[in-house]
Structure 1
Amino acid sequence: MGESKAAVEANEVSRREFLRLAIISSAMLMGTGSMLDGEQLTPHARLRELAPGAVRPEGWLRGMLEKQAAQLGSKLPQISWPFTGAYWAGEEKDESIKPGQSWFPWEQKGYWIDGAMRLAMVLDDEALMEQVWTTIRYTLTHADTDGYLGPQLFKDPTGDDHRWPQAVFFRSLTACAEAPSPMMGETGKGIVDAMRKHYLNDKASYGTPERNITNVESILWCYGRTGDARLLALAENAWQEYMKVAGNKDRGDLSPMHVYADTPINSHGVTYAETMKLPAILYLYTGKEDYLKFSEAAERRIFDHHMLIDGIPSTSEWYSTVTSLDLHETCDIADHTWSWGYQLMATGDSVWADRIERASFNAAPGAIKKDWKALQYMSCPNQFLATLNSDHHPKGRGGFKMAYQPNPGKRIACCGGNVHRIFPNYAIRMWMQAADGGLAAVLYGPSKVKANVGAENELVEIEQTTNYPFEEEIRFTIYARRAVRFPLSLRIPGWCKSPRLTVNGVAAMGEQTTKGFLVLRRTFKPGDVLTLTLPMRTAVTHWPQGGVGLEHGPLVYSLAIKANWKPIVEEKYTTVEYPSWEATPVSDWNYGLILNAAQPTKGVDFARKPNLASENLDPWENPPTMLNVLARKIEDWELQSNPQNSTQKFTPPLPELSTSKVSQTMEQLTLVPYGSTELRVTIFPAVKA
């Protein structure tokens, strides 16, 4: 579609104004950042999201996000295909894509667009915002005459291609529509109208095939902002249609028979994660309890059968067992934590925030090279090497998906884009509006939030000062023009048994709810300081084949293996500055832990570095906390070799101790947070003292 010169110039002016205003931290930032009151948007929510940008990360969290933005967050479109292509900005086909898979590049770039847009919003990063807005603007200004948004290549509703790429990309549009600036009202309305027209005129089925159903997320978002009952009917009808095929493993293994029987999941991880959240979202808009019961039962299967120690289920690519060698795709970190956020909003239960936190503080940084120049497609609690042929998963054995790469997976480049959603979404959802008109601190970390609270909808700012999860104390400072009465809810993690709260240094009692929150109902004065202390304890967890793991508070601890890093440049997918990396071990890793059977944590000593409060702290590169443990070397526990190629090595399973050669010499090991490691031992054999 062509544009006149005048139209192009007008659009350029609008784009610049959008960028200028979208980056301004408005002093009058509205808590919901949307065009309708929060109760109208999701009338049955216990907790509601704030607008992207309402929460500003500080301290170590901001430092990590800035590193992400400076590296792959902004550089990926200059490094690796398909991010180098013009997908969502005019590229209609690529001859290297197999028939029936032509949606792949749009899905993958859509992930990056959504993550980078949200990253720009939480950081006020104008350059990154402009980079992403170019693509979004193109899509919005090139709608078809019937309103269809997206590539013509897969518009045909009867073709093999489907509407999954729109489900991925449209999340970036919703972020734009909710962005906090004076202009966003009109810009947001334009996005809402464009999405409504797209969905209401589209002839495709949203109940089938495969992931079309995931568009229910955006359809309902649109319904909440327009009140158009046709959109609600479209979403509910699509779900009912999907239920007819949901038992098929290729459709998510979400038949009611399997869900309510709590069977292990026989499905692709991303497909299940993206689909199981939909009933929770339907509940937010309809209040129908059956939807919520279904989503909770679907989630229960994950935690009963598939959860790994780092907070993400074994999904490689399908749900699997929980041994020391089971892996998960990095996409599953982004998609499961995103889905759990909807469960949190629907139920108001802090257990979902606990789960988001555990995955975000362990699995996520554990899959990313600490300089944010590479990541893994597949990562694992035990990974003693990570090369282009060391993937130890049986179905991908010998593959390249465990190496650290700027775009792992190459042609199937989902993780390279999707990784950018994890931490911006963590920041956006740190604070939520409670149904009682107050604010809820649901995810902890250094940050500031601006929102409207109380009966008179007054603006307050709360600064959260902390080095959590590396310390136990979290301080909240209240800023407002005058005293404001509102309820403040503070999450008490499930692992914390004796929280303490003070207000201006005086012990305070709050209302402890059955949902895991401590609620303080009072009139807050400007300058009030609340201090929440969450005492952490060390715990031992047990795993198949006699394995044991150690954790302290929300963090899992691992033995970091020193690595030899070898760069490899692969044309089209890497550059000299951003190569693929092969990591092989150069320090000993073959240890078993000595634990007291009667008192497992006796002799496990927690330590914290004294310079924790340093503003330059990078906790993932320079871990500030550690566990000191006693261990013995298992001398015949070695890397596995490929029988056909002795130079090809794999991470081995846990050894059979009854036949192993265990050293009689005790050694002290220092374990660090899982997220601070790249090669690591997390699940250890337990040896006798």
Structure 2
Amino acid sequence: MSDQKFALLSKAVLLSFALVFSGSKNLNAQSLASQPYSEVPLSAIKPKGWLKDQLLTMRNGTTGHLDEVYAKVKNDNGWLGGKGDGWEETPYWLDGAVPLAYLLDDKELKDKVSKYINWTIDHQRPSGYFGPLTKDEREKNIQITPENCAAGEDWWPKMVMLKVIKQYYQATNDPRVVPFMSKYFQYQLAALKTCTLGKWTEWAQSRGTDNAMMAQWLYGITKEPSLLELASLIESQSFQWSEWLGNRDWVINAAAQQNKDKWMQRHAVNVGMALKAPSVNYQRTKDEKYLKNLKTGFNDLMHLHGLPMGIFSGDEDLHGNAPTQGVELCTIAEAMYSLEEIIAVTGDIRYMDALERMTFNALPAQTTDDYNHKQYFQIANQVQISRGVFDFSLPFDRQMNNVLGMRSGYTCCLANMHQSWTKFASHLWYATPDNGLAALEYSPNEIKLKVGASATEVTIHEVTNYPFEENIRFDFTMPKDVAFPMQLRIPDWCGEAVLSINGKELRREKGAQIVTIDRTWKSGDQLTLQLPMEVTTSNWGKNSRTIERGPLVYALKIGEKWKKENDKVEGDYYSVFPETDWNYGLIQDIVNNPAANLTVRNVKPVAGNFVWNLAHVPVEITASAKKIPNWKVVDGLARQPVTDREGIYKGDVNPEIEKITLVPYGFTKVRIVAFPVVK
């Protein structure tokens, strides 16, 4: 279709808009629920230290170069007007590459991602429809309107691209974005009457929350009532996740059934996206039942399907809490983003703590050092990475779900893994309604933002090696004194935090709360937050025990033997096998008194060129253990030994006590993290 035809807006289209929106302006004034936090501009935060190293690795790896190394995105891309990928993978990649470009202020990457955004905005159809050219447009020269919406294509990929363009707008304030989105949502409100959300695939029905969320975000800018009407319509045509999360039958059935019936309702990536559904519905309706549904659903999900590293199982279905179940990388990425949105709407610290645990434990373990290879499924107690069927609910015939490869398993994760670290970095801080700031997740960074009644620009350097150390220091720089409140999260795992200003103790606070320091800040001020990290143990599936310290869970350090291989369909991949023994049970004394029976040791500083691997482990824990000789690899897995009600394994155990070394889970590829307990 020519650009000239794109520029034509028929009288029929204008008339359809008039009919659809003639009543919208007469709706009673509506508003979204007030919320405790809002996102800061994408360009306000600059990662530092180990977090910047992680993002630079991504820029040098597939996040910065997927369009050069992955043929599906590289060749004749539909989001650039070609006939290639026109579905989810290009938007998935951009959903991480766009924030990365602006977090790093990387001109080359900005220019790269802008090509896709510019094409998408510049080639919006006169009706408001957007996206790759459809078959009917190419072959029949049909112009897509709400009346012939069937000439369009699936709603789902557009939901991801809307998230991409939203982030681009937050970084650039490009004046084209709000009219672009407004026009599309006008089209969608009209078209959904005929071309419902599920017309093409169940993916759009299962993920409609992302669409409703974007309409509500735009409403926050334009206050156009029809956007809330659209969000409500989308919700009515979507899977009813809010009701399901509040109804325990859903999560129980998901645990009990692994057949082909209703599998989209227990698909873990769908669940990860859907976690935010109750908060999005609460934002629009102000109905407190949605927050109750969210609390019930999240608690049930983690009780029935939770794994020690902070994520629920999903291989691909929700699959219980046995330590040998897998989790898809996309599930982690989407659950993290849902939690970031939930935090802003609810202000509930339980979701802040959950995000921290998931990010610092589950996430880094599932990709290679260069961020070019990933596991489709990782396993908690993972004593080898290899081809196989394992205990997954989705065993590919090629048996490639567990290996570390670029294209192993489904390639959705190759495209979607990029939003995880980048969105975490962009949600370290939130703005508060009283012109203040909230530090709700901790990592080294710098934020520059206007605060206080005077809207004075303040720069805060967050100096820390958290989560590997206890101290977080905030250094303030500003042109003049400015009064504003600053909120800090005291995690639930922290017994008592110490807050100091300019070297003098201010106060002590218990964990599981948000504290506020409201004062007039001066340039040169230093605020220090100390979060003492005690060693503890926690109980997980099959009555296993995990050792924790602060935000990190610890796993057995196992020697790694890497083997590079090739699959004719999915390309190069790596297997990883253990080079040291792994079949240990923790002695019961550790569970009874972890502080007295575990030794924490700092082994090396968190230095430049940081990577999450065994060579860079900054802290270790020494524990006493005994070998369980009958605990062996069967079908590639270390299935959990059975314990009694007291949590003790009663089978044969070697009499010798050995010292074992534990390292943070995120640094491992092969490991035991959920241990049996022995006497």
Report the 3-state secondary structure (helix = DSSP H, G, I; strand = E; otherwise coil) of the residue aligned with 2:405.
coil
Equivalent residue letter for 1:293: K
Matches within 5 A, 1:351-500: 351-389=350-388, 391-396=390-395, 399-409=399-409, 412-500=410-498
Closer/same/farther in 2, CA of residues 207 and 524 from structure 1, 3 Å limit: farther
CA contact (8 A) 1:72 1:406 kept: no
Equivalent residue letter for 1:669: I
Correspondence for 2:532 among 509, 531, 535: 535
Report deviation, 1:257.
6.9
Report deviation, 1:616.
4.5
Report deviation, 1:446.
0.3
Correspondence for 1:60 among 50, 53, 61: 50
CA contact (8 A) 2:583 2:631 kept: yes
Q: Do residues 136 (structure 1) and 142 (structure 2) align?
A: no
Correspondence for 2:191 among 164, 181, 202: 202
Correspondence for 1:594 among 587, 593, 598: 587
Q: Do residues 289 (structure 1) and 261 (structure 2) align?
A: no
Q: Do residues 559 (structure 1) and 556 (structure 2) align?
A: yes
Equivalent residue letter for 1:527: G
Report deviation, 1:190.
4.6
Q: Do residues 518 (structure 1) and 515 (structure 2) align?
A: yes
| Residue equivalent to 1:644 | none
Report deviation, 1:391.
4.0
Equivalent residue letter for 2:235: W
Instruction: Supply the distance in 2 between the matched residues of 1:309 and 1:586 (Cα, whole angstroms).
Output: 24
Report the 3-state secondary structure (helix = DSSP H, G, I; strand = E; otherwise coil) of the residue aligned with 1:402.
coil
Correspondence for 1:624 among 600, 613, 618: 618
Closer/same/farther in 2, CA of residues 548 and 56 from structure 1, 3 Å limit: same
Query: TM-score scaled by structure 1?
Result: 0.84
Closer/same/farther in 2, CA of residues 41 and 112 from structure 1, 3 Å limit: farther
Instruction: Supply the distance in 2 between the matched residues of 1:256 and 1:185 (Cα, whole angstroms).
Output: 37
Per-residue CA distance 1:342-388 (angstroms, 9 max, x = gap): 22111112221111111000000011112322111101111111123
Equivalent residue letter for 1:589: W
Equivalent residue letter for 2:659: Q
Report deviation, 1:311.
0.7
Per-residue CA distance 1:31-76 (angstroms, 9 max, x = gap): xxxxxxxxx9966111111121211100000001101110111222
553-562 or 661-670, larger mean C-alpha shift: 661-670
Instruction: Supply the distance in 2 between the matched residues of 1:57 and 1:448 (Cα, whole angstroms).
Output: 6
Per-residue CA distance 1:307-355 (angstroms, 9 max, x = gap): 1110111112111211111111111111111111122111112221111
Report deviation, 1:612.
2.0
| Residue equivalent to 2:259 | none
Closer/same/farther in 2, CA of residues 395 and 73 from structure 1, 3 Å limit: closer
| Residue equivalent to 2:139 | none
CA contact (8 A) 2:497 2:511 kept: no
CA contact (8 A) 1:171 1:218 kept: yes
Report the 3-state secondary structure (helix = DSSP H, G, I; strand = E; otherwise coil) of the residue aligned with 1:542.
strand
Report deviation, 1:581.
1.1
Correspondence for 1:189 among 168, 172, 178: 178
Report deviation, 1:524.
0.4
CA contact (8 A) 1:61 1:445 kept: yes
Closer/same/farther in 2, CA of residues 328 and 531 from structure 1, 3 Å limit: same
CA contact (8 A) 1:139 1:149 kept: yes
CA contact (8 A) 1:199 1:219 kept: no
Report deviation, 1:652.
2.4
Correspondence for 1:171 among 151, 163, 171: 163
> RMSD in angstroms over aligned alpha carbons?
2.8
| Residue equivalent to 1:2 | 2
Instruction: Supply the distance in 2 between the matched residues of 1:220 and 1:199 (Cα, whole angstroms).
Output: 14
| Residue equivalent to 2:20 | none
Instruction: Supply the distance in 2 between the matched residues of 1:451 and 1:540 (Cα, whole angstroms).
Output: 40
482-491 or 299-308, larger mean C-alpha shift: 299-308
Report deviation, 1:515.
7.0
Q: Which has the higher helix share?
A: 2
Instruction: Supply the distance in 2 between the matched residues of 1:188 and 1:308 (Cα, whole angstroms).
Output: 40
Query: TM-score scaled by structure 2?
Result: 0.85
Q: Do residues 503 (structure 1) and 501 (structure 2) align?
A: yes
Closer/same/farther in 2, CA of residues 259 and 170 from structure 1, 3 Å limit: farther
Closer/same/farther in 2, CA of residues 235 and 454 from structure 1, 3 Å limit: same
208-217 or 469-478, larger mean C-alpha shift: 208-217
CA contact (8 A) 2:494 2:511 kept: no
423-432 or 108-117, larger mean C-alpha shift: 108-117
Matches within 5 A, 1:46-125: 46-85=36-75, 86-92=77-83, 106-125=87-106
CA contact (8 A) 1:384 1:589 kept: yes
Per-residue CA distance 1:148-183 (angstroms, 9 max, x = gap): 111344887559963111112211110111114xxx
Report deviation, 1:228.
1.3
Equivalent residue letter for 1:626: E
Report deviation, 1:280.
0.9
Equivalent residue letter for 1:584: F
Report the 3-state secondary structure (helix = DSSP H, G, I; strand = E; otherwise coil) of the residue aligned with 1:318.
coil
Report deviation, 1:288.
3.5
Equivalent residue letter for 1:133: S
Report deviation, 1:627.
0.8
Report the 3-state secondary structure (helix = DSSP H, G, I; strand = E; otherwise coil) of the residue aligned with 2:59.
helix
Report deviation, 1:285.
4.4
| Residue equivalent to 1:249 | none
| Residue equivalent to 1:258 | 247
Report deviation, 1:281.
2.1
% same residue = 29
Instruction: Supply the distance in 1 between the matched residues of 2:47 and 2:494 (Cα, whole angstroms).
Output: 24
Matches within 5 A, 1:605-684: 605-609=599-603, 611-612=604-605, 614-618=607-611, 620=613, 621-641=615-635, 650-656=636-642, 660-684=651-675
Closer/same/farther in 2, CA of residues 199 and 51 from structure 1, 3 Å limit: farther
Per-residue CA distance 1:82-108 (angstroms, 9 max, x = gap): 2333132234468xxxxxxxxxx6212
Number of paired residues? 618
367-376 or 623-632, larger mean C-alpha shift: 367-376
Unpaired segments ≥5 residues, structure 1:
8-39, 95-104, 247-251, 642-649
Report the 3-state secondary structure (helix = DSSP H, G, I; strand = E; otherwise coil) of the residue aligned with 1:499.
strand
Instruction: Supply the distance in 2 between the matched residues of 1:481 and 1:593 (Cα, whole angstroms).
Output: 56
Instruction: Supply the distance in 2 between the matched residues of 1:395 and 1:256 (Cα, whole angstroms).
Output: 23
CA contact (8 A) 2:546 2:673 kept: yes
Closer/same/farther in 2, CA of residues 401 and 443 from structure 1, 3 Å limit: same
Instruction: Supply the distance in 1 between the matched residues of 2:349 and 2:178 (Cα, whole angstroms).
Output: 33
Equivalent residue letter for 2:487: S
Instruction: Supply the distance in 1 between the matched residues of 2:432 and 2:295 (Cα, whole angstroms).
Output: 21
Q: Do residues 224 (structure 1) and 216 (structure 2) align?
A: no
Report the 3-state secondary structure (helix = DSSP H, G, I; strand = E; otherwise coil) of the residue aligned with 2:74.
coil
Equivalent residue letter for 1:142: H
Report deviation, 1:206.
3.7
Unpaired segments ≥5 residues, structure 2:
8-29, 136-143, 256-265, 644-648
